Amino acid sequence: MDILENIMKITDNKFSTLLFFLDTKLQNRYKNYELADKLYLNDMIHCIGKDTLEIEYNGRIKKINDKIQIKSKNFNIYLNTDEYYILTKPRKSEVNNRKFFESLLNQL
């Protein structure tokens, strides 16, 4: 159950709205992150449960199908992306795998 569903439908800036409703410690920790609209392999993600607004998982994406597989510590976890707000930290370097995967995706 998404407790912010109605609010997120009407807001223009979904990340700011989400950040407003998070705990103060989480607000400070994730203020430089962004809400992921597309997911790519090897991205580091942080998953906030839509029902609790607490951090439930974080890890690196290893596989994307109907569910995503992340490697968190020493475990592989399969997640349904509809149950989480997924945050990523924007990369500052121009040389990264994201551009490679975007161009590969565009060619398919």
Tell me the pTM. 0.82
Domain count, the chain: 1
Tell me the DSSP string of 29-75. HHTT-EE-SS--TT-EEEEEETTT-SEEEEEEEEEESSSEEEEETTE
User: pLDDT tens track of the chain, all 108 residues?
Assistant: 789 999 999 999 999 999 999 999 999 999 999 999 888 888 899 999 999 999 999 999 999 988 999 998 889 999 999 999 999 987 766 556 677 777 777 776
Looking up residue 14, the CATH number of its domain turns out to be 2.30.30
| Domain ranges, residue 83 | 5-107
Q: Provide CB contacts within 8 A for 7, sequence distance 6+.
A: 17
CA distance 103 to 82: 26
- Cβ(54)–Cβ(87) below 8 Å: no
